[in-house]
Amino acid sequence: MMQSLLFELPSNESEFADATYSILGRALAYVVEFEADFRALNMVIRLKDGLNTGQVDLDDEESIRRFFDLVLRTRLFEHIGEIVLKLRLAAKEVGAIADSEISLDEEIDYLADLFDRARKARNDIAHEVCLGIWSEEDTHEGRQRVLREVSLALVPIAEAHRVLLVIIAAATAQPVPIDRYLRTYSIRVVEWVCGSDFLNARTP
C-alpha cells in the first residue's frame, strides 16, 4: 500500500529527541499555568465587580454559568488589558508613591509593557518554537535551537508571572516570599524548564 509523507510521524527515539520534547513539555506546562493565573486573577476582579453591580447573582445558576462561560472565552490579551486598567484605576485612588522618583503611572506603563511582551513570548512557545522540530529533533543543533529559543522566551514570561503572583498574593492575603527568592524566580523557572542543558550552557 502506498504511503503518504503527509501522514508520517517522527520515528526517532533517541536521547536528543527525548531531551528536546522534555524541554518543550515543561515550557508548555509553565505557560499554561502563567495564562491560567491571569485568568484566575481577572475572574476574581470580575466577580467582585459583578457582585457589586448586581450583574452576577450567586443564587442564580444561570447567572453563574454565564459568568464563567464569559471568563473562559476571554483571551489572554483581554485579561491583561482588564487587569492593567484595574491597576490604573487603583493607582488614581492611591496617588503618588512617597519618596519615589517614578510615578505610579510609569510603574503601570512598565507592567503593561512587560505583560504584553510576556504574552507575545507565550505565543512564540505555543506556536513558533515547534515549527520544523520534526526534521531536527534528533540533532544536537535542533536541541540547541529549542533550548535557545525557549530560554529567551521564558525570561519575560517568568518576570511577568512573578509580578502577577505578587499581585495575587496581595489580593488574597497570602504571604509574599522574601526579596532574594523573588529576585531569583525567573532564572529558576528557566532552569526548571531547560534542566541540565541550560545549566551546562551557562557554565564557562
Q: Domain-by-domain residue ranges, the chain?
A: 13-202
State the Cα–Cα distance between residues 140 and 200, nearest whole angstrom: 14
For residues 71-91, b (16+ Cβ closer than 10 Å) or e, as one string? eeebebeebbbbbbebeeeeb
Cα separation, 138 vs 178, whole angstroms: 41
Sequential pLDDT tens for the chain (204 residues): 456 666 666 665 666 677 888 889 999 999 999 999 999 999 999 999 999 999 999 999 999 999 999 999 999 999 999 999 998 888 776 655 444 555 777 888 999 999 999 999 999 999 988 877 766 766 777 778 888 999 999 999 999 999 999 999 988 888 888 888 889 999 999 999 998 655 554 544
For the whole prediction, is pTM greater than 0.85? Answer: no
Q: Which amino acid is at 123?
A: N
Cell representation of residue 17: 529527541
- Centre a 10 Å sphere on the Cβ of residue 20 and count the other Cβ atoms it contains: 26
